[in-house]
Structure 1
Amino acid sequence: MDIGIDGRIDTGATVNVGAVQNDTLRSARFRLEREAHWRQLDQLVTRAEKGGAAALGYDEVRNLAAGYRQAMNSLSVARDISLDRALIAYLESLCARAYLVVYAPQESLGGLTARLLLRGIPQAVRRSALPLFIGFLALILGALAGYKLCVSDPSWFYTFVPPELADQRTPDASADYLRSTIYGDEGHDSDRLAAFSAFLFSHNTTIVILIFTLGIFVSVPSFMLTFYNGLILGAFFAMFARKGLGYDVFAWLSIHGVTELAAIAIACSGGARLGLAVLLPGARTRKEALRHQAHDAVKLALLAALMLVVAAFIEGFLRQLIQDPAWRLAIGWGMGLFWVGWLLLGGRQGKASREVAR
């Protein structure tokens, strides 16, 4: 107690000290009653953060969920009765960590990749009928135009095909030389094949990136660039066909071209999705339509990149090592059937799954 100047007793200091002591005792008692549960939850959350929810057993997962609910209840009570700030901050942190473990997706990078391959990409392809039609149409029309023009006038070959790509394979070359470029032994040591495969992948990837990114300009540049690749294809085929090597060059192109050319057309399809969002946004604004279409467009671009990796391996290794045209055809079109089967059947829900989803 304090005695004032006027002689009266001042009890304010005693009341304030008593209130503080009472709050401290109440916080201590509150913590003592529940701290064991909080520590157990903290340990479970820490383990789950390090190794994922899969690192916990069934009983531990159940205790984790129960502990989270208890901690949330403790946090609510602590806020209502205005306990000390340090305790409230601790409970807020613990509850936030537990929430992420209990409710946030616990999927590893491998799980995300598997979901993308098994469902995401095939479903995106099946939703892209019109863009795929545009991509493959550009490639086919270009190939037909290049073939027709070069069959009627071989000089068109020099217009369509860059000199560095043609090398010495020109309409003026002899049939024997052209045949040697299809079946000749090019010194197939592993180091040269690996370097050749890396070069092809880099070259093809550059083309695909250009085709995809230019699609945002109303799809026209993507269509034209894909059409131009078709012109080169048609010109090459016409040159070999005029020398009586049509079947041989078809097999030579098939072993890697089925995958590689499909990747180019799919990249054009991804760009076309972006272009159609700008050209035909529908009820959405162009920005919203572009954001909406970008989800599937990116998946098509990832598919094209994956196919290019496979095509580079086939072109850099198998095409050089396998000389039999029948085997070249079987590998090339077998890969084509694999892509078609995966993209048409992947990610489809069974009847039971659809009923559950409803």
Structure 2
Amino acid sequence: MDVDAFVVAHRPTWERLEQLLKRRRKLTGDEVDELVDLYQRVSTHLSMVRSASTDSVLVGRLSSLVARARSVVTGAHSPLWSEFARFWTVSFPVVAYRAWRWWLSTAVAFLFVTVLIAVWVSGNQEVQGAISTPSEIQQMVNHDFAEYYSENPAGSFGLQVWVNNSWVAAQCIAFAILGGIPIPYILFQNALNVGVIAGFMFDADRGDVFLGLLTPHGLIELTAVFLAAAVGMRVGWSIVSPGHRPRAQVLAEQGRAVVAVAVGLVAVLLVAGLIESLVTPSPLPTVARTAVGVTAEVLFLAYVIYFGRRGVAAGETGDISDAPDVVPTR
């Protein structure tokens, strides 16, 4: 089947069904009959596309259209818990999974710059002198870095960490409006800070302290920031290269993906904040604290891969507009 020709031939039908669905509460009797007829026809189109094409975007669009039409025709209702469950098992993990190339590239670039800066700072007294005084460096290395995690009550510190981390992620997401252009600079600032501190700590033979305090919460925290940055930059790239679809359609889809990630990362960064306030400064051995961080990271990645891969295989895009358009009930 020629997919492009099929789309051109049937797009008016799909668009008409979209129009009727948007006006579903104000339809006349004839329009209701038309909606039912179009629902049956588009259902047939979906079956044809699924059997003859691998275009997941087209399948996802028609699946969404058919689901919305079915809910109107049958008067289906969906409980609020169902919408909640769909977000966490479809929308958020699918968006995260589909952005994995951007996500991974962001992580690799960040870690490369961080290590490069750390190596440059470590052992280079001239560079260290330009950044801070020897006494200030000694104070940070021997006291401030470790005491930062325990100088405030766990509750208030956890809230502060959550707000700070959410702010960094929110900046990455908000700058998607500007095409994602400022995002690399935000990431560079954070890589610079981490790299400089790592350089000081390793130069003072306290690299084990640095890694022991950063790893428990840092793994999932940085992963969340990388995801936010990846989705934001992906929006920018969709402006440059929208593919074979209209630029406005791609931007709308990617914009809604940003919203899904923003909501999902609130919970992820809450977990990171709890680990940083409760586990990182705890008297547990370094191995135990690190194991908590690694476990949280593995569970999060497994969650995204499992639900994200399953959703993509089912033709889901993660777009929140693809959720069945039904009336929530309690």
Give the TM bin, normalised by the shorter chain.
0.5 to 0.7
Report the equivalent of 2:185.
Answer: 224
In structure 2, what is the equivalent of residue 62 of structure 1? none
Q: Give distance in 1, aligned partners of 2:275 and 2:130.
A: 29
Amino acid at match of 1:121: F
Q: How does 1:1-358 map to 2 (within 5 A)?
A: 103-153=74-124, 170-173=136-139, 176-177=142-143, 181=147, 186=151, 192-349=153-310
Give the direction of change, closer, same or farther, for the CA distance of 1:174–1:232 in structure 2 (3 Å limit). Answer: closer
- Tell me the amino acid that sits aligned with residue 127 of structure 1: R
Distance, in Å, in 1 between the alignment partners of 2:241 and 2:72 is 42
Separation in 1 of the partners of 2:112 and 2:193?
A: 12
Listed as ranges, the gaps of 5+ residues in structure 2 are: 1-28, 34-69, 316-330
Tell me, yes or no, if the aligned pair for 1:124 and 1:296 is still in contact at 8 Å.
yes
Q: Post-superposition shift, 1:262?
A: 0.8
Match of 2:39 in 1: none
**What is the DSSP-based 3-state SS (H/G/I as helix, E as strand, rest coil) of the residue aligned with 2:107?**
helix
Distance of aligned partners of 1:154 and 1:196 in 2 relative to their CA distance in 1, 3 Å threshold: farther
Q: Give the whole-Å Cα distance in 2 for the aligned partners of 1:217 and 1:158.
A: 37
What is the rounded CA distance, in whole Å, between the counterparts of 1:193 and 1:344 in structure 2?
Answer: 32
Q: CA deviation at 1:156?
A: 5.0
Residue in structure 1 matched with residue 325 of structure 2 by the alignment: none
CA distance in 2 between partners of 1:153 and 1:171 (Å): 13
Query: For the residues of structure 2 that align with 1:140 and 1:241, how far apart are their CA atoms?
Result: 16
TM-score (norm 2): 0.65
CA distance in 1, matches of 2:125, 2:260: 40
Q: Of the two structures, which has the highest relative contact order with CA contacts closer than 8 Å and spacing of 6 or more?
A: 2
CA spacing shift, 1:182–1:204, aligned 2, 3 Å: closer
For 1:35, the equivalent position in structure 2 comes to none
Letter in 2 for 1:263: A
| 1:321 counterpart SS class | coil
Q: Deviations over 1:183-203 (max 9, x none)?
A: 9x64x7xxx211111111111
C-alpha deviations, 1:276-304, integer Å up to 9, x for none? 11121223343222112223333233333
Kept after mapping to 2: 8 A contact 1:256/1:311: yes
The 10-residue stretch of structure 1 (170-179 or 265-274) with the greater mean CA deviation from structure 2: 170-179
* CA shift digits 1:7-45 (9 cap, x unpaired): xxxxxxxxxxxxxxxxxxxxxxxxxxxxxxxxxxxxxxx
CA-to-aligned-CA distance 1:207-263 (integer Å, 9 cap, x gap): 111111113433331122112211211211221111111122112101110111111
Provide the C-alpha distance between the structure 1 equivalents of 2:135 and 2:230, rounded to a whole number of angstroms. Answer: 31
Alpha carbons of structure 1 residues 135 and 176: separation in structure 2 relative to 1, 3 Å:
closer
Q: Which amino acid counterpart does residue 277 of structure 2 have in structure 1?
A: G
Equivalent residue for 1:31?
A: none
- Secondary structure, in 3 states, of the residue corresponding to 2:122? helix
- CA offsets 1:98-140 (integer angstroms, 9 cap, x no match): x978734522222212111122222222211332134213422
Please, which runs of 5 or more residues in structure 1 have no aligned partner? Answer: 1-71, 77-98, 162-167
Does structure 1 conserve the Cα–Cα contact (< 8 Å) formed by 2:122 and 2:200? yes
| Cα distance between partner residues in 2 of 1:224 and 1:211 | 10
| Superposition RMSD in Å | 3.5
CA contact (8 A) 2:213 2:281 kept: no
Q: Report the Cα distance in structure 1 between the residues aligned to 2:148 and 2:192, rounded to whole angstroms.
A: 20
Q: Secondary structure at the match of 1:320?
A: coil
For the 8 Å contact 1:143–1:231, the answer to whether it is kept is yes
Output the CA distance in 2 between the equivalents of 1:104 and 1:229.
51
For the Cα contact (< 8 Å) 1:178–1:240, is it kept in 2?
Answer: no
Q: Percent identity?
A: 20
Instruction: Classify the secondary structure of the residue corresponding to 2:139.
Output: coil
Show the counterpart of 1:64: none
Give the corresponding residue for 2:3. Answer: none
